[in-house]
Amino acid sequence: MRIVRLSSVRRVAALLAWLSAFGIAAEEEHGGARVAASSRWSAAMTRADVRLGRVDADHDDDYLYRLPYGDDVSFPIIQAYGAKLSHRGAEHFTLDFAMPVGTPVHAAREGVVVLVEDSHDVGCASGECAPLANFVVVLHSDGTTGEYFHLERGSAEVRVGERVARGQRLARSGDTGFSTAPHLHFGVYRTGRDRTTESLAVRFKTRSGAVGTPRSGAHYLNAIE
Ligand SMILES: [Zn+2]
């Protein structure tokens, strides 16, 4: 799952025009990347309303990600890369982990928190609920973002601007937004010049070695670090 409306250029332009009419910029410079300022984000906005990360970032393909949960636990992948229900197009290289509501979500990679939304409490199996997802977005050193969706209301443990370590707890999983069952949607994204985002294939460091193509139905444990 996740928000599917990613190329809403006109929507963004309209929003920016509205914001600038009030003398507010929706984005600001942060570490060389344009990110949303926490004070300017509103729960009425959607993730697609802000451009995050470095445009045309060059992803570090040598980086081995952690699985986005703790040690000694694992959760089955219910949608892997290219899964038919909703991991197509811009969402092709993302993963859904079946996770009970309230499960700790951990950073798959270190970075700086650039966006947090945890005020929503509604989820449903329809795109209409997409704007109601809670999430945390972490900016990586290569300008890509790690994004964690459908989180439980009020569960964020990090703030915008905070530097987070690999494996650090971010929030608890939930069932908010466009979601048919409790799960965590995780993806690494890059913003293109046309303001659209695309997900990137990333590899994971599991207890049984590096995994480049996680499989639907599989469980993976984090490597001991
Ligand atoms: Zn998903």
Ligand 1 centre and the CA of 187: distance in Å?
8
Ligand 1 centre and the CA of 141: distance in Å?
24
pLDDT the model gives residue 108: 98
pLDDT the model gives residue 152: 98
DSSP state of 17: H
Rounded to whole angstroms, how far apart are CA atoms 54 and 7? 17
Ligand 1 centre and the CA of 90: distance in Å?
11
pLDDT digit string (tens) for the chain, length 225 residues: 665 444 444 444 444 443 333 323 334 444 444 444 445 678 888 888 887 888 889 999 999 999 999 999 999 999 999 999 889 999 999 999 999 999 999 999 999 999 999 999 999 999 999 999 999 999 999 999 999 999 999 999 999 889 999 999 999 999 999 999 999 999 999 988 887 889 999 999 999 999 999 999 999 999 998
Q: Are strands 64-65 and 33-36 parallel, antiparallel or unpaired?
A: unpaired
Residue 74 near residue 215 (C-beta atoms within 8 A): no
Ligand 1 centre and the CA of 83: distance in Å?
9
Mention every residue, 6+ apart, whose C-beta is less than 8 A from residue 218.
Answer: 76, 77, 80
Buried b (16+ CB within 10 A) or exposed e, 134-171: bbbbbbbebbbbbbbbbbbeebbbbebeeebeebebbb
Ligand 1 centre and the CA of 18: distance in Å?
31
- Nearest Cα to Cα of residue 203 among 65, 59, 41: 65
pLDDT the model gives residue 33: 43
Ligand 1 centre and the CA of 4: distance in Å?
10
pLDDT the model gives residue 224: 95
Ligand 1 centre and the CA of 17: distance in Å?
31
Ligand 1 centre and the CA of 115: distance in Å?
18
CATH 2.60.40.10 fits 9-211, yes or no: no
pLDDT the model gives residue 1: 66
Rounded to whole angstroms, how far apart are CA atoms 139 and 142? 8
pLDDT the model gives residue 38: 46
Burial class, 187, CB count within 10 angstroms (exposed 0-12 / middle 13-18 / buried 19+): buried
